Structure formats: structure tokens, C-alpha cells
Chain A
Amino acid sequence: MTPARTLATAARVLRQLRHDPRSIALMLLVPCAMLFLLRYVFDGSPGTFDTIGASLLGIFPLITMFLVTSIATLRERTSGTLERLLAMPLGKADLIAGYALAFGLVAVVQSVLATGLAVWFLGLDVVGSPWLLLLVALLDALLGTALGLFVSAFAASEFQAVQFMPAVIFPQLLLCGLFTPRDKMAPALEAISNVLPMSYAVDGMNEVLRHPDVTTAFVRDALVVAGCAVLVLALGAATLRRRTA
């Protein structure tokens, strides 16, 4: 791995994105629009807005980055540029870290906008530090990037890649505690939700929401999400093969 090659890759991914202003606008504005909607849907019960709003601040970056990365790396695979890069002196880690860096940066901007809007304009009541919300959002974005990269290896077309979104994300969404608290679910479902990374992303957000300082549970949640991201990134790296059949 060479830092200069990693940075060149990240710069290239961002440059590609810059030629696509509509995607940038969608990535940055849709989460804000959703939060805005949510605020007025739960106009009568600010407590519900707090819980769901904070959870969504963790879920948005994961979903966006999952979609963006799975399509971007699939295009890299199908356009032949991946084969070309791997025939060049580029480390697989350079490529993956380059993508993670570029989309991580986009995720930071997205999360700053969404968190700022929620906390300062929509009255989301956070007891803890908004910086911690941002940290979890960033880890979620990394996890989304990692999952997207991994899944792109199993999609033969962009059509299939998009179908992976409901397959990978929706079960986690249903079981992460957004709709029903996880400890009130049937034991089997709770057990499943215990092994899904998004559950920890949402738990982490709710820790920040309710506690003024960094709790042990928060540290555990953050570590689980980060650990999953690293694990899936490593699995994703294994799907990049210099020699293919």
C-alpha cells in the first residue's frame, strides 16, 4: 500500500463525482429533506422525533454509501478499469482505502448537514455531544462503503446491485430497533438483531441522545460498527482478484 496511490485514487473518485452534480445534490439533500418531513410528521410527539431522528442520522450514511459504493465499484468491475488497475502496480488496499476515503469525506459533509439541521433547526434534543453523533455517522458510512464494495462482487449488473439494497439493508432496518425496541422483540428476532451491525449503529446514536458523556455502551457500539466495517472491507479486498477465470 502506498499513501500517494491511495490519495490519487480518492481524488479520482471525488473527481468522478464532481462531474455528476445531480448525484451530489441527491446525496446531500435527501437526508435533510427526510429529517424535515419526519419533524413535521411527529409534530405532536417530539420524543418520537428524537428517537427516530437520531437513529436515522446513523442509517442515512449507511444506506447512501452502500448504494453509491456498490454501483461505483460495479462500474469499475464491468468497465474494465478494475482489471486495468490490478494489472498496474496498484495495491488492492490502495483501491479500497481510496474509495473509503473519498466516500468517507462525502459522508462527513452529508452528516454535518443532516446533524446540523436536526440539532439546531429541527429541535432534535441530544443530551450528549453532536460530535459523537457525527462520529457514529462516519463509522456507519464506512460500514456502508464496506458492504457496498463486498456486495458489488456478487452483482453482474447495476440492476442486480440495486436489488441488493433491500436484501442487505431492509432486514437490518426492520430489526435495528427503529420500529420496536430490540429488547421487546421475539427472542429469535432479538438474537438476529444482535448480530446485525446496524443495530449497534442505532444503539450508539441513542446512547448519545440520552447520556451527557461517553458511556461504555457507546464505546462498545462504536467499536462493533468499526470492527464490522474493517472485517467487511477485508472480505471486499478478497473479492478483488488480479487473476480472473
Chain B
Amino acid sequence: MMNYPDGDPEGPGDPDAPGVPEGPGAHGDPEPPDSDPAITARALTTVRGGRTVLRGLDLTVPAGRVTGLLGPSGCGKTTLMRTIVGTQAQVTGTLTVLGRPAGHPSLRPRIGYVTQAPSVYDDLTVRQNLGYFAAVLLPGRAHRPARATAVDGALTDVDLRDHADALAGRLSGGQRSRVSLAVALLGSPDLLVLDEPTVGLDPVLRRDLWDLFHRLAADRGTTLLVSSHVMDEAERCHRLLLMREGEILAEGSPDDLRRRSGTPTVEEAFLHLVDTAAARAAHEEPGP
């Protein structure tokens, strides 16, 4: 697949460079890279629109695995993802992504981010969309064959070869979100951050996408962080981050979480954790 020079397109003087200081592990540890977590956050706090959305989070996301980020709507999943990708302002704390502070320019070619609403050009065909984003990732005439291969590969991955020449705006909602996913797959990124990628998809397609996520992790060593508010998808992840009101309630494998709370499903484990947290909060702050 595509390879990128580890160049720094804008240099360290970029005014947008992160306000997040470098954390532990930012400088090459002696261990092989896949034993380092892909993402490490310590005391991560993010203010969005005057509201503190993330409240001092600590979390790790292992490399080369599928990590699910679960929690009710409005709990801060999207803000956490934007913070990891480096598009979120007003961040404090430590956040290391692939060994660099989040938002570092050298990370831009290495992260694929799919927003909840498909971000593609409706007035371009699927192939033209992918062609343009591929040209941003790997510019120049010399790379044209590599780009064509990457575009075909991404189209195959999301099963949209038959619709390659259709205008993105004419596709169904599920098809458009797969175009958006295909764009993120283009550069074979080391980290894929997917915000609710399976919302509104039929069960067959959902299964196929989860199979794809696991293939990416197993075959290409890609780290995936996938958010969802559908708890049955939790069972498909190697590891889970359960989130509520800007805090991480629990992290671990689905088995861990079920065992720890003594419940048969992740959904019940989550509810159990929520109730416990609510009871504790009520105990700490009696009455308004």
C-alpha cells in the first residue's frame, strides 16, 4: 500500500501545533513499536463551547487492536475522537498518539478519521472523491499508479466498486458513509478513528464492516478506535472504553467487564457501572 515520508509538512512552528505537551513514551522507547499503546491519555480535559466535555480522562488504546468507545449520546465520544485526531481546540493534559503529541503535523498522513456525518463531496463521483483525497495524501504525477491502486483497494474494502462512477450525492445514506470510510482507508493509516461508522446500516453490511475492521487490525496491524452507542457492537471489540458524562467508567476486554460486574452481557455491565457511579455521586453530593 502507500508509504509516506515521515516528513513534517509545516514544521514545528505551526501556529496550530498542539497545546498538549509531549507525554511519556513520546521519545522512542527501546521496545518494539507494537508493544507501545497507540494512544495514551493522562488527565485529558477538553472544553467545547464553554462546557467541560472531557473531565480529566486517563486511557490507553492498544496498538493493532479494535477498541470500542461506548457510551450514551452526548457523553463526549465525538469530542474525545476529535481531540485524538487533533482537530479539537482547548485541550489540556497529556495525549500521545502514535508516539507524538496529538495534532502533531507528522501524524496527519498516519491517521484516518471518519466523522459521524459523511464528509465527502456530493457533487463528485465516488472515484473522483477518492482520487482527490488520495492526491492530497500522495501528491504528484509520479505517484499516479500508487494512487490508482489505493483507490481501487479502498473501493473493494468498502464494497463500492459497482458504484464507483455514481455521484456521491445520489447514493443512499449507508453508501455515502462507506465512501467516507473509504477515504479514511486510502493511505493505509496506522490509526483509524471511526465515529459511529455503522449507524443506519443493515445487519449484513454491519457484519461486513466489522469483519473489515478486524481484517485491518489482523492483516495490516491497524489500530482502530470505533465509537458506538449500540451495545451489541461492543462484543465485537478486543477492548472497550465505557464512557459516561465525559469520564471513562471502565476499560478492559468485554470478558473483563462482564466478569467484573458479574453480568452476562456488556450492556448489563455498562448499566451496572452507570448505576454504581450514579449512586456514588449521589452519596458524595447529597442534594442540590
- Give A residues with C-beta under 8 Å from B: 2, 4-5, 8-9, 11-12, 15-16, 19-20, 79-81, 83-91, 241-245
Contact = CB atoms under 8 A, between A and B. Distances in A.
B23 to A, nearest CB: 18
Contacts, number: 96
Contacts of B141: 4
Given A8-B136, A87-B87, 8 more contacts: A4-B141, A5-B136, A9-B132, A87-B86, A89-B105, A241-B89, A242-B86, A244-B88
A91 B10 contact: yes
Interface of chain B: mostly helix, strand, loop or mixed: loop
Which of B49, B133, B167 is most buried by chain A, counting CB atoms within 10 A of its CB? B133
Interface string B99-111: 0000101001101
A88 B123 contact: no
Contacts of B140: 4
6 contacts: A2-B9, A16-B123, A80-B115, A90-B136, A91-B10, A243-B18
Given A20-B123, A89-B136, A242-B16, A84 B115 contact: yes
B87 A83 contact: yes
Contact of A243 (B16, B105, B128): B16
A244 B82 CA distance: 9
B119 A12 contact: no
A84 B16 contact: no
Nearest to B90: A245
Interface residues of B, number: 40
Contact of B87 (A4, A8, A243): A243
B88 to A, nearest CB: 6
A243 B103 contact: yes
A216 B243 CA distance: 68
Contacts of B86: 87, 242-243
A81 B132 CA distance: 12
A212 to B, nearest CB: 44
A86 B105 CA distance: 10
B49 A88 contact: no
A91 B16 CA distance: 12
A26 to B, nearest CB: 16
